[in-house]
Amino acid sequence: MKIKVCGMRQAGNLAAIAGLDPDFLGFIFSPKSARYMGEMLEPCHVKSLPAHIGRIGVFVDDTLASIQAASISFGLDYAQLHGHETPAFCQQVRATGLGVIKAFAVGPGFDFSSVAAYAPVCDYFLFDTKGELPGGNGQAFDWQLLHAYQGPLPFFLGGGLGPANLSEVLAFRHPYLYAFDFNSQLETAPGLKDVARTRDLLTRLHEQAA
């Protein structure tokens, strides 16, 4: 199982978390987010990450030009799209050479057939908790709803994952589950991950996968 730690925004903290060897690190480019990286991270801080760690930029209803500029500047591998982006827009982003992760906010009554049009133009889906914000609400949703999802794309599971519900995280099974996405539940402040807590969590996840 792959592991993503999202919402990185401080250079020293980024280096420490990267040293724990997650599969992906996420960087939020939406100014409305409490974890917006803004000017806090220089491109060199992201570009110098080990090559085997995927760099994911998180965007919300941004322009193609802005996404492409961020991709070039920071050496991104994927664009995670958290807004109202259409399949046509996802296809345009993908045509720039970026992988595309389309996020969907899931709650009771979510129609999983609505994601079908995105499958040909995305690499992964991300299923997150429906809340006031496009992401980072810090609450888990009822993962049993995901049994209505029949593919074809693998997905990241996000929304309130952390040490407090790690037993439930480890017990969850789905044939298309690809990665766990951790964010606010690992923090001491928005964008600042607790290194010891993150180390313990990754150790448990890696032990489970062994």
Q: Is 27 helix (H, G, I), strand (E, B) or coil?
A: strand
- CATH placement of domain 2-209: 3.20.20.70
- Give me the residue spans of the domains in the chain: 2-209
pLDDT digits (tens, 9 = 90+) for 48-85: 999 999 999 999 999 999 999 999 999 999 999 999 99
Q: Is pLDDT of 130 > 80?
A: no
100 in Cβ contact with 123 (< 8 Å):
yes
**In terms of pTM, does the model score above 0.75?**
yes
Q: Is 1 helix (H, G, I), strand (E, B) or coil?
A: coil
pLDDT digits (tens, 9 = 90+) for 78-120: 999 999 999 999 999 999 999 999 999 998 999 999 999 999 9
CB neighbours of residue 39 within 10 Å: 6
Backbone angles phi, psi at 95, to 5 degrees: -65, -15
